[in-house]
Amino acid sequence: ERPEVTNVFAQIGSTVVAQGPGGGGGGGSDLRSGTVTVLLDEGRDLSGDEIRREELRRLEKQQAKAQRKRGWLP
């Protein structure tokens, strides 16, 4: 958890596609796609890009650790 994040919304396997003025229709149902919306505190010290970079670095380290544990990396 990060103190800068106030809320997170995730949608997996479906998206809304606008179809004309004021209209929305169901999108695809591919479980390999999705959307995540993160709401950030307005009084935060870091920009959205800085938070994103930190989290991506953290995830890369965790992924490499898991791959080494499985013997996929030296």
Q: What is the pTM (predicted TM-score) of this model?
A: 0.56
Please answer whether residues 9 and 45 qualify as being in contact, where contact means their C-beta atoms are separated by less than 8 angstroms: no
CB-count burial class (<10 Å; 0-12, 13-18, 19+) for 5? middle
Mean pLDDT of the 9-34 span = 70
pLDDT of 45 = 94
Mean pLDDT of the 11-16 span = 75
Residues 6+ apart with CB under 8 A from 43: none
Structure tokens at 43: 């009084």
Q: pLDDT-based confidence at 31, cuts 50/70/90?
A: confident
| Predicted confidence (pLDDT) per residue in 34-57, tens digit | 888 999 999 999 999 999 999 999
